[in-house]
Amino acid sequence: MMKLAELAIWLNSDNAPGLGLPPLIMVTDVRRLPDPLGAAAKLPPGSAILLRDYELAERAALAGRLAIVARRHGLKLLIGGDAELAIRVDAAGVHFSETRASEARRWRHRKNWLITVAAHSRTALRSAALSGADAALLSPVFSTKSHPGQAPLGAAGFTLLASRAALPVYALGGIDENNAARLLSSPAAGIAAIGAFNPIN
C-alpha cells in the first residue's frame, strides 16, 4: 500500500494543490474488503474512507466505528448516499452516486464538508461539476471485479475525461500497486480503491 499512497500523494500535490482534498480514498465493500476497520487503521494520515456498502444491515454501526478510527488516525470519513447518517456520526462529508449527483447541491451549506460524486462518463462529470461537488470519482479506470462487464477507460481514457472536467477527478476501478504508475501523467486529484487495501489480494 505504501507505493499506492506515495503515488496518490504525488498526484494530489501536483493536480489539486491547496484544495484540501485527500490524496487517497479507501472505498468499503464487505465482499472484497471484509475488514474495513483494520484496513482504515493502516491508511496514511490525511486519507479518506468512503463508506459505501449501501445494503449492509449494520451500516450505521459500522459508520460509527469508522468515525472513531478516522478521528484516531487523522482520516476523513465520507458516508455514501446518506447525509443524515454523516451528520449523526460527525463524518467529514458525503458521497453521492451518479444518479443522485444533484443532491450534492442541497448540502453545500455545511461548512468544511467534503462532497464527492460518482461518475462514469463525460456527461456525469459535467453533472457532478454543476451540482457543486468538490470532486468526482471516475470509474472504472482499469478492469475491476466491481464492474466485471464494463469496459475500462484505461489510463488514456481517464486522462482525456479528467483533463476536460470542471472539477477535481479521482481515479477509481482496478487500481493497485502494479498499475497505478500508469496514471503518473494523468490529471488525477488522487486515487480511490477497494481491493488494493485487502492484504490477501
Report pLDDT for 147.
66
**Quick check: is 198 in a domain?**
no
Q: What are 175's three cell numbers?
A: 487500481
**Quick check: is 29 in a domain?**
yes
The one-digit pLDDT tens for each residue of the chain (201 residues) are 679 999 999 999 999 999 999 999 999 999 999 999 999 999 999 999 999 999 999 999 999 999 999 999 999 999 999 999 999 999 999 999 999 999 999 999 888 999 999 999 999 999 999 999 999 999 999 998 766 678 999 999 999 999 999 999 999 999 999 999 999 999 999 999 999 998 775
**Quick check: is 174 in a domain?**
yes
Q: What are 139's three cell numbers?
A: 470509474
**Quick check: is 102 in a domain?**
yes
Alpha-carbon distance of 130 to 51, in angstroms, equals 24
Q: What's the sign of the alpha-carbon dihedral 138, 1, 76, 41?
A: positive
**Quick check: is 200 in a domain?**
no
**CA nearest to 191, candidates 38, 63, 3, 34:** 3
**Quick check: is 42 in a domain?**
yes
Q: How many domains does the chain have?
A: 1
Report pLDDT for 150.
81
Report pLDDT for 57.
96
Report pLDDT for 196.
94
Domain range enclosing 133: 2-193
Provide the CATH number for the domain around residue 120.
3.20.20.70
**Quick check: is 201 in a domain?**
no
- Determine the number of helices (DSSP H) and then strands (DSSP E) in the chain: 6, 8
Residue 102: CA count within 13 A, CB half-sphere: 1
**Quick check: is 117 in a domain?**
yes
